[in-house]
Structure 1
Amino acid sequence: MKKETSFLKCVVVVVMGLPVLALSIFILPGIAEFFAELNPELDFLQYPFLIGLYVTAIVFFAALYQTLKLLNFIDKNQAFSDLSVKALKMIKYCAIIISAFYVVFIPLIYLMAEADDAPGMILIGMVIIFGSMVIAVFAAVLQKLLKNAIEIKSENDLTV
């Protein structure tokens, strides 16, 4: 195992995965309950909001899994393969799904921020949306570059 990829794997799993897992277990139910208390007329949205947040967490972990698969392909010198392209495609789709869910959640986040007088919540939602879109665009660019590199490699293999 290469040092660089093992470090990345550790960073991906520990630094990115564990805080999201802790947030999902300990903080998200409190946020949904807080939202229901702030807006009693919208308390029926507490559980759909919570389910939506859990769905985005599951999609996030799916993207992390695809990232780990991609790092394993790099370790095995299979970076220029269709499996890597497929992993990048899944990462792109996961990022798009997360952005789409948060676009749907922005009105609820606005209501919560309005009731609590905390405009920073809207900013956090926008950062998640735009961050996920940046990841989706970056994964799409890498996917296209990798496809082109694989095509060039296969053409070179045929000429030799």
Structure 2
Amino acid sequence: MNRVSTLFLKIAVLFIGMPILALCIFVVPHIASYAGGLYPTVSYMNILVFIVLYGAAIPFYMALFQAFKLLSFIDKNKAFSDLSVRALKHIKICATIICIWYIAALPLFYGFADKDDAPGVIIIGLIIIFASMVIAVFAAVLQKLLKEAIDIKSENDLTV
């Protein structure tokens, strides 16, 4: 792969992170205050919304960083290395954490949907869970294939 392709993918990774950062800065505080207004008797509802949404953003940005590192390894012709396998492993772990995080937060989404009579909130949570699961499985498959390719490459290097 030439450097133009990886440069394009690196820019795409940066552009993937920008809307989430904008959501975290501008939208999450409004969601938290709205949730506090829906449940005025639950004093910690604002904090709970902050914990759920910002807590999921942390592994998201960790996975984006690992994807950026993986693209850098490809630029340096180190795509078939243990560093790439490790980056894919970290991406898999981050996607799994996001999936589990949102599964744990589904009762909160259900409470919002029930109180506000908006079932789309639950669907948004399920979409995030499904997307995280797909990314985790995809990263696991790529990790396994890359590990097998590295093993075959090292075996071929020893026989020659």
Aligned residues: 159
Q: CA deviation at 1:48?
A: 2.5
- TM-score for both structures, normalised by structure 2: 0.96
For residues 1-160 of structure 1, what are the structure 2 equivalents within 5 Å?
2-14=3-15, 16-160=16-160
RMSD: 1.0
Counterparts of 1:129 and 1:43, CA distance in 2: 27
- Residues 60-87 of structure 1 show CA distances to partners (whole Å, capped at 9, x for unaligned) of 0000000000000011110000000000
Deviates more, 1:123-132 or 1:38-47: 38-47
- State the one-letter code of the partner of 2:53: L
- State the one-letter code of the partner of 1:122: I
Q: CA deviation at 1:58?
A: 1.2
Contact kept, 8 Å, 1:37 with 1:43, in 2: the verdict is no
Contact kept, 8 Å, 1:63 with 1:94, in 2: the verdict is yes
- Same amino acid, percent of matched pairs: 58
Runs of 4+ deviating beyond 6 Å = none
- Unmatched 5+ residue regions in structure 1? none
Q: CA deviation at 1:41?
A: 2.7
Contact kept, 8 Å, 2:39 with 2:45, in 1: the verdict is no
